[in-house]
Amino acid sequence: MQSLKPVFEPKSIAVIGASREPGKIGNVLVKNLVDSNFPGPVYPVNPSADEVHGLKCFKSVLAIPGKVECAVIAIRAGLVPKALAECGRKGVKGAIVISGGFSEAGEEALENGLVRISRRHGIALIGPNCLGVVNPAAKMDSIFLPTYKMGRPTQGGIAFVTQSGAVGSMVLDVVAREGFGISKFVSYGNAAAIDETDLLRYLMNDRETNIIVLYIEGVKRGREFYDLTKRLAKKKPLVVLKAGVTEKGIAAALSHTASLAGSDAAYRAVFRQNHLIEAKSLDDMFDYAKIFTTQPKCAGDRVAVVTNGGGMGVLAADALEGEGLKLAEFSRETRKALRACMPELVKDENPLDLVGDADASRFSDAIRIASSDPGVDALAVITLFQTASLDSRVVDVIINASARKRKPVINITLGGEYSEMQRRALESSGVPSFSSPTSAARSLAKLVEYSRFTKKA
């Protein structure tokens, strides 16, 4: 496998298909690299233009005087092989082909030609028919969507690998809004040369990546994927969302990225055997990503629920039990400490209902006491911000408890605009906040399951 460093961390970039016309893909690509303050030279390539966004334009990549490490190609499919061959002659070692119109459109021979050229010249080829690559640390942004329409996440520990550009754009936008950072992002489209197994191998050894999230419609090399993910799961969590599980979904995957989706049962068997964290939906994918990237490992399954609404506590208890987790039994010392500082209406039992007039101070005492109980492995804090006495001060209480990293601390908040504002404040500070007890319990159960696996491995 060619080194992927020229794709993720290039020192210089050529944009083949750069355009002076606002709104065109080639225009947006150059603008995003300029706006992201890419530290190296950016060379627009367009034989009909003198400059794009203030940068001198070149008639071909061969006319560029300096060294080019990576080429981002966004031109008509039929012109791509010639441009890629010129990149090879120039010594370019990484290429991202944004252009579509290859195997997904029935043009297998055209795509195979790209593979032959990339192998002949030792070019790490991403795509074709892809969204591109983002690496916040290197200020690399080869996404052709404008930043005012799709946000860009800050630097963090999550790597996203997606076969679909549409899913990828949504992922980036949501992650940017939620305040979670990424290490790498890559949309690899048809995977003509570099596929998901190559990308996972690179990220497995990437020091900036703590957790990998993968969206796939099919796998190119089944055996290699199996062997690699078996090793990878022992080092880092791998969350996988597999699309194309129904007859219609499989057909759609084939026309989308020319991917053979294969047997759903076979994929799920691999996920189970290799202890990959399977997401059944996009919501699951986001939920698992945020709990794994923010919370410490937890091999214990005893959970304390702290809430200011009794009904939500009951729902949380049901959800936790339904996912194979347990409600923690408070110790005698914990019960005594709770009785000493709580109003008479608050019972010293789990779920711990702090009743409707609970404020941030009461939550603080309850969280401190419950988290100190050796029989408690994790805390689920439910905040009903609709009550008159609860305000944003409880957000700081929860953030401080989570920051200690002694035990997982997760939040459940459901409501309108005010509640959503508090939830986002928690998320941006590294506390996973869920909109339902079901999603919270499912995510925590995945964390416990993976923690137990790595403890044994």
Q: What is the DSSP letter of 261?
A: -
Strand partners, 380: 305, 410
Beta carbons of 128 and 102 less than 8 angstroms apart: yes
- Which SS3 state, helix, strand or coil, does residue 117 take? helix
Please name the amino acid found at residue 161: V
What crossing angle do the helices spanning 360-372 and 393-403 adopt, rounded to 10°?
20
> Residue 141: phi, psi to the nearest 5?
-140, 95
CA-based radius of gyration for the chain? 25
Long-range contacts of 136-140 (CB under 8 A, 24+ apart): 136/181, 136/182, 136/183, 137/183, 137/208, 138/8, 138/9, 138/10, 138/39, 139/36, 139/37, 139/38, 139/39, 140/8, 140/9, 140/10, 140/13, 140/36, 140/38
pTM over 0.75: yes
- For the chain, the structural domain boundaries read 5-292, 296-456
Task: Provide the phi-psi class of 258: left if phi over 0, else alpha when psi is between -120 and 50, else beta.
Answer: left
- CA gap 114, 108 in Å, rounded: 10
Question: Cβ neighbours of residue 247 under 8 Å, at least 6 residues apart?
Answer: none
Residue ranges for the chain with pLDDT beneath 50: 1, 249-251, 253-261
- CA gap 362, 341 in Å, rounded: 8
Length of the chain, please? 457
Indicate the class that CATH gives domain 296-456. alpha beta
pLDDT digits (tens, 9 = 90+) for 113-170: 999 999 999 999 999 999 999 999 999 999 999 998 999 999 999 999 999 989 999 9
Strands (E), 253-362: 277-279, 302-307, 326-327, 352-353
Supply the pLDDT for residue 244.
65
Supply the pLDDT for residue 72.
98
Q: What is the DSSP letter of 431?
A: -
**CATH number 3.40.50.261 given to 5-292:** yes
Query: C-alpha dihedral over 393, 397, 402, 408, to 10 degrees?
Result: -110
- CA gap 219, 261 in Å, rounded: 7
**Is residue 452 within a helix (H) or strand (E), and if so which, with residue range?**
helix 437-456
- CA gap 151, 405 in Å, rounded: 29
Strand partners, 379: 304, 409
Question: Cβ neighbours of residue 79 under 8 Å, at least 6 residues apart?
Answer: none
Supply the pLDDT for residue 262.
59
